[in-house]
């Protein structure tokens, strides 16, 4: 594991030049670990919708990432075989670099929280990653109306096999709630992008206050805000080339909710054309996408899904469900 050493100034993020490479990697401190700010996400292993690859090819790619300095991996209990494949890689890796494992324990259905149940969940993660300790365990809870998430986090914190404890998709109110009862929260994993920048409000302020790091996903909207789409037509949402995360920002099944759109209108300024964007094709593309999103009926619908789950309260506003 990446631990604090004299080569890295952990008082602030520092870049270190890679040997034989002109590029640099930024690092940040998570408890006793120093990890790259860019982590390798393994959500793609959760579904064949992302494509297929042999295990040997995946392990080879893991090796290339680690050799290039990208040593931190993010996975979850429901990402297919992600934990198992990572565990096989780490147990067979004999190189000089240390790897960092951030995984998740996600509760999607109602349960009765017990100490044994929480320890069993940790044991399963450890068995999959072939380790006796989890570097960072992130916890997701499906229903805030069931307050057992507080007790669950207390049990997980007391488990000596968990080096650092984080949250996944917790909103600001519940994050501060668990902190108030003594849970040491290291990170909170949330989405963040040019299209949906809600974490910059109450969540960012709370994280700064409590020295919590945000681990963000969906920053480029699954590639939607990347060079791939410069000067390209809007994609067919039913195309086989559409990956799950790319499908999210243009999902036709999202249902707009006027109340939420109106309430958040003052916070949707980032969707308006930027006044003086830097001269870069990515910015031009982002500008065009923002304009198109504002014109669509689905603007604001990211806060309301069919089925009634109000996600508008995430990261600072109230909602009924977690995650």
Structure confidence at residue 243 (pLDDT): 64
Between the alpha carbon of residue 113 and those of residues 106, 116, 117, 136, 154, the distances in Å are 13, 9, 7, 21, 11
Residues 84-110: b if buried by 16+ CB within 10 A, e if exposed: bbbbbbbeebeeeebbbbbbbbbbeee
* Class for the domain spanning 15-219: alpha beta
Structure confidence at residue 95 (pLDDT): 84
The ranges of the chain annotated as CATH 3.20.20.100 are 15-219
- Beta strands at 213-217 and 72-74: parallel, antiparallel or unpaired: unpaired
* Higher local confidence (pLDDT), 223 or 18: 223
The per-residue pLDDT of the chain, averaged, comes to 76
Structure confidence at residue 75 (pLDDT): 97
Of 171, 269, 262, 270, the residue nearest 225 (C-alpha): 270
Using DSSP, state whether 293 is helix, strand or coil.
Answer: helix
Residues 6+ apart with CB under 8 A from 173: 316, 318
Please compute the mean of the pLDDT values over residues 263-283 and round it to a whole number: 42
Residue 110 has pLDDT above 70, yes or no: yes
For the ranges 126-130, 258-262, 270-274, 289-293, the maximum mean pLDDT occurs at 126-130
Residues 183-204: b if buried by 16+ CB within 10 A, e if exposed: bebbbbbbbbbbbbbbbeebbb
Of 42, 8, 48, the residue nearest 28 (C-alpha): 8
User: Which secondary structure element, helix H or strand E, spans residue 151, and what is its range?
Assistant: helix 148-158
Task: Pick left, alpha or beta for residue 222 (phi over 0 → left; psi -120 to 50 → alpha; otherwise beta).
Answer: left
* Higher local confidence (pLDDT), 140 or 6: 140
Residue 311 has pLDDT above 80, yes or no: no
Structure confidence at residue 51 (pLDDT): 77
Whole-angstrom distance, CA of residue 215 vs CA of residue 185: 12
Express as a percent the part of the chain with pLDDT over 70.
66
pLDDT digit string, tens, across residues 134-181: 999 999 999 999 999 999 999 999 999 999 999 999 999 999 999 999
Q: Which of 70-79, 101-110, 278-287 comes out lowest in average pLDDT? A: 278-287
Taking the model in full, what pTM does it have?
0.71
* Higher local confidence (pLDDT), 38 or 266: 38
- Beta strands at 187-191 and 213-217: parallel, antiparallel or unpaired: parallel
For the ranges 52-56, 187-191, 233-237, the maximum mean pLDDT occurs at 187-191
Residue 9 has pLDDT above 50, yes or no: no
Residue 198 has pLDDT above 70, yes or no: yes
Residue 255 has pLDDT above 60, yes or no: no
pLDDT digit string, tens, across residues 26-66: 999 999 999 999 999 998 888 777 778 888 999 999 999 99
- The two structure tokens encoding residue 265: 């209108």
Express as a percent the part of the chain with pLDDT over 90.
52
Structure confidence at residue 260 (pLDDT): 37
Structure confidence at residue 232 (pLDDT): 82
- What's the burial of 258, exposed, middle or buried (CB within 10 Å: 0-12/13-18/19+)? exposed
Structure confidence at residue 259 (pLDDT): 40
For the ranges 4-8, 174-178, 194-198, the maximum mean pLDDT occurs at 174-178
Structure confidence at residue 134 (pLDDT): 98
Whole-angstrom distance, CA of residue 205 vs CA of residue 202: 5
- The two structure tokens encoding residue 186: 């290291």
Please compute the mean of the pLDDT values over residues 188-217 and round it to a whole number: 93
């Amino acid at each position: 594991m990446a631990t604090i050493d004299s080569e890295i100034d952990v008082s602030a993020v520092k870049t270190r030049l890679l040997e034989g490479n002109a590029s640099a990697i930024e690092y940040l401190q998570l408890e006793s670990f120093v990890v790259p700010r860019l982590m390798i996400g393994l959500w793609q292993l959760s579904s064949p919708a992302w494509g297929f690859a042999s295990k040997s090819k995946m392990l080879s790619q893991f090796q290339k990432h680690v050799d290039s300095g990208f040593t931190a991996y993010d996975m979850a209990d429901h990402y297919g075989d992600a934990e198992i494949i990572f565990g096989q890689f780490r147990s067979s890796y004999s190189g000089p670099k240390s790897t960092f494992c951030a995984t998740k324990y996600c509760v999607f259905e109602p349960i009765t929280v017990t100490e044994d149940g929480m320890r069993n969940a940790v044991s399963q993660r450890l068995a999959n990653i072939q380790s006796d300790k989890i570097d960072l365990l992130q916890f997701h809870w499906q229903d805030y109306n069931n307050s057992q998430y507080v007790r669950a986090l207390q049990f997980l914190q007391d488990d000596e096999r968990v080096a650092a404890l984080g949250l996944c998709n917790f909103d600001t109110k519940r994050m501060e709630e668990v902190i108030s009862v003594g849970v040491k929260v290291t990170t909170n994993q949330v989405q963040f992008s040019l299209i949906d920048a809600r974490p910059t409000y109450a969540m960012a302020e709370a994280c700064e206050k409590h020295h919590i790091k945000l681990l963000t996903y969906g920053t480029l909207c699954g590639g939607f805000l990347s060079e791939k789409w410069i000067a390209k037509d809007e994609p067919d949402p039913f195309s086989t080339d559409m990956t799950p995360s790319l499908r999210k920002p243009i999902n036709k099944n999202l249902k707009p909710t006027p109340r939420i759109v109106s309430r958040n209108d003052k916070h949707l300024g980032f969707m308006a054309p930027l006044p003086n964007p830097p001269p870069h094709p990515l910015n031009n593309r982002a500008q065009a996408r923002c304009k198109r999103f504002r014109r669509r009926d689905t603007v604001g619908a990211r806060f309301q899904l069919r089925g009634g789950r109000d996600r508008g309260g995430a990261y600072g506003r109230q909602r009924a469900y977690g995650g």
